Structure 1
Amino acid sequence: MTAASTPRTTTTDSRPSDRRGDVVVRPLAVHDDAEVAAAHAAREASSRHERPWAKTWSLREMAVQLRSDSSVERLEPYVALVDGHVAGMALLWFPLLDNTSFTWLEVDVDPAWRGRGAGSALAERVAERTRAEGRHTLLVEVNVPDGARADHPHVRFAERHGYSYANTEVRRILGLPLDPARLEALAADAATRHEGYRLESYVGALPEALRESYCACWNQLAVDAPTGEIEFEEEALSPQTYAEELGRMERQGRTMVHTVAIAPDGDVVAYNDLVVSADDPEEVMQWGTLVRREHRGHRLGMAVKVRGLQELARFAPQARRVQTCNAEQNAHMVGVNVELGFRRVEAVLAYQRHVGD
């Protein structure tokens, strides 16, 4: 089980360890390099098990994430010890500015240590923490092969611990490099539909003049994208928290490639974000694409994606793949991805567990 791969941050937890059978669950010692490395190894083994396309955090990315403070989210990390060995870890995020009835979680156990109770002990610890903090719902994502949605071990694990199915996204991968002529043709075709808008790409930070409207656009993604049975509030990214996140990304060795569509009044009305990691430059993550509702019908979704891929080819010619996820029912954005050449590799199932009154 893994949670959505959005960027998160941490505080430490001084609560005592919890023994369940032969498993000890306790807060991860975030400033202990050896323990962080052991937890990273367990998470890496879990994420890559039978998933050759898995995009994981480098040790540096994870260490920075664990040791950073955030005004947006609080992260509580836990480890499960079996015979003194770090067999697995859980990450539990508490949104602080929006969607404050939820927690987000990941539970990962090294396949070599599965079947010893580490996953169950971690799952129950984070449920207890969610309830204790007055939150009502835990959210988790489960990565499974497309044809094994009903009976995969991860699905059975989630259901055994009280989670119910909420939504399905499909992970797709685009192989790189792409034919520049084909991208130019797609861009030219889209341009016939969005006269009056201009496209701009930025490696790293957006200009300050664009940040407020970009954040307003970005905040709509949680409520505009199909989310099945989960009801999200609009998010609360601001120019200040955007700058905070960029600083953390810089320490992690990550670079954002922003592409925006700007309306005649100067506001960002569509965007596409790609993230390149210095520690894994061949694997690029697409974090989000959105076109504001009142500006749809102008092929801006295709336009910002194509322009982003063109900028990516200039900035990171070593990149070999881009990953993205879209809800199955998001027919328009799925159609754009298929036209670009993305191929589906797995289902990403959202599950939720209600623990409040």
Structure 2
Amino acid sequence: MGTTVRTRTTLLDVHDDDQTRRAHEAVVASRVFGRPWFEPTSYHEALLDWRHEDKAEPKEIWVAQDGADVAGVATLYLPMEDNTWLAWFDLHVHPEHRRRGHGSALMDRLVERARSAGRSSLLTDFMVPVDDPAHGYRRFVERHGFELSYTEVVRHLNLPVADDHLDGLDAQSRPRWAGHYRLETHVNGVPAPLRPSLCDVMNQLGVDAPTGDIEFEPESLNPTRYAEYLGLERDMGRTRLTTVAVSERGEVVAYTDLVLPHGAPSTVWQYGTYVHREHRGRRLGMAVKVENLRRLQADFPERKLITTGNDGTNSWMVSINEDLGFRVVELCPAYQRKLG
């Protein structure tokens, strides 16, 4: 049982190398705790992310001090161009500093900042085991007034996937879309002519994905911000593989992204996959994922694992992932606190 101490919460000085290193160590220790498969990203990537300024979604990084140590880190995001009624955050306390009040001190700071920014709702999510419905992370946020909104199921896919398996999935889907769409795979961003329609499709992902009692409005990603994100990933040493389905009108109607972090050399993150609602029923979701996976395995055979998450009620995407061979590993519950 820890001892409660008086915690000082301050904004992280992202230009203080010593403090940022200690903050990164606390976040990594929290993320890997109880998750032996998790491969953390590098300090270099974290530092660039912390220093990056996104005017459309500014962030505040708060740290909890335990003497000279950084005991906890919480990042608060404040969307400014869409979904401006909400704020969302990511909170971590180093396992060696838990049960001393540091997490609660950070939480109180986040609630205060969200209210002062005029937000009516505060959101967060985190990873927990599949078989522990009363996990400590759940109890912590529930004590602070949060209620469960929805739960994503996190799955892993071990690589490589056999070529004949991918060929079989391709054979099942291709007759549904061939002749009406073309597939293109691009490294570190799609060409400029495709970016407006890609952004339009990406902006709909949060609207159509199951999110319980949270109703998101379309996001406001545009080609300029898209290019900024690609530049940030390039500086981090990351690689993004994007496969798109392009209609006869030359517009992106489906996409999927795989991101390869530099500091986690075996891991691949599955980012968004989405098919425009007017083009569904043609197996484009499976088509773009198979094509992207083929490119990944051909160009980056050293990567051993893809991680993805989907709401358990999203039967369309769940079936695709299960057909590809993804297996359930953990849960990612999303909680909301209405600030009133």
When normalised by structure 2's length, the TM-score is 0.97
Contact residue 172 and residue 343 of structure 1 kept, 8 A: yes
- 1:318-344 deviation per Cα after TM superposition (whole angstroms, max 9, x unaligned): 110000000010001100000000000
Contact residue 102 and residue 136 of structure 1 kept, 8 A: yes
Partner of 2:122 in structure 1? 138
Partner of 1:243 in structure 2? 227
Partner of 2:92 in structure 1? 108
In the TM superposition, what is the alpha-carbon distance from 1:54 to its structure 2 partner? 2.8
Partner of 2:55 in structure 1? 71
Which SS does the other structure have where 1:106 is aligned? strand
**Aligned: 1:337 with 2:321:** yes
Q: 2-side partners of 1:156 and 1:254: how far apart?
A: 35
**Aligned: 1:155 with 2:138:** yes
Which SS does the other structure have where 2:156 is aligned? strand
Residue 271 of structure 2 aligns with an amino acid whose one-letter code is W
In the TM superposition, what is the alpha-carbon distance from 1:21 to its structure 2 partner? 4.7
Partner of 2:271 in structure 1? 287
Partner of 1:16 in structure 2? none
Contact residue 269 and residue 291 of structure 1 kept, 8 A: yes
**Aligned: 1:53 with 2:25:** no
Structure 2 regions of 5+ residues with no counterpart? none
In the TM superposition, what is the alpha-carbon distance from 1:188 to its structure 2 partner? 2.1
Identity across aligned pairs (percent)? 45
Structure 1 regions of 5+ residues with no counterpart? 1-19
Contact residue 188 and residue 242 of structure 2 kept, 8 A: yes
Partner of 2:150 in structure 1? 167
- Count of paired positions: 336
Q: 2-side partners of 1:225 and 1:286: how far apart?
A: 15
**Aligned: 1:186 with 2:164:** no
In the TM superposition, what is the alpha-carbon distance from 1:72 to its structure 2 partner? 2.1
- 1:131-163 deviation per Cα after TM superposition (whole angstroms, max 9, x unaligned): 0111111110021111112x1100000000111
Residue 310 of structure 1 aligns with an amino acid whose one-letter code is R
- 1:17-71 deviation per Cα after TM superposition (whole angstroms, max 9, x unaligned): xxx9521111111101111010000000101100123354321111001111113
Contact residue 214 and residue 271 of structure 1 kept, 8 A: yes
236, 239, 247: which one aligns with 1:252: 236
**Aligned: 1:321 with 2:305:** yes
Contact residue 41 and residue 261 of structure 2 kept, 8 A: no
Residue 172 of structure 1 aligns with an amino acid whose one-letter code is R
Q: 2-side partners of 1:307 and 1:297: how far apart?
A: 18
In the TM superposition, what is the alpha-carbon distance from 1:84 to its structure 2 partner? 2.5
Call closer, same or farther: CA 1:230–1:53 in 2, change over 3 Å. farther
Residue 94 of structure 1 aligns with an amino acid whose one-letter code is L
Which shows bigger deviation, 276-285 or 155-164?
276-285
241, 247, 262: which one aligns with 1:278: 262
Contact residue 281 and residue 316 of structure 1 kept, 8 A: no
Partner of 1:206 in structure 2? 190
Contact residue 40 and residue 263 of structure 2 kept, 8 A: no
- 1:65-96 deviation per Cα after TM superposition (whole angstroms, max 9, x unaligned): 11111132101001101123111110001112
Q: 1-side partners of 2:331 and 2:72: how far apart?
A: 23
Q: 2-side partners of 1:246 and 1:71: how far apart?
A: 16
Q: 1-side partners of 2:171 and 2:68: how far apart?
A: 60
Residue 127 of structure 1 aligns with an amino acid whose one-letter code is V
Partner of 2:160 in structure 1? 177
86, 94, 103: which one aligns with 2:70: 86
When normalised by structure 1's length, the TM-score is 0.92
Partner of 1:217 in structure 2? 201
Partner of 1:28 in structure 2? 12
303, 320, 341: which one aligns with 2:287: 303
Contact residue 71 and residue 241 of structure 1 kept, 8 A: no
Which SS does the other structure have where 1:192 is aligned? helix
Q: Which runs of 4+ in 1 moved over 6 A?
A: none
Q: 2-side partners of 1:255 and 1:100: how far apart?
A: 30
Residue 231 of structure 1 aligns with an amino acid whose one-letter code is E
Which SS does the other structure have where 2:53 is aligned? coil
Let me know the Cα RMSD of the aligned residues.
1.1
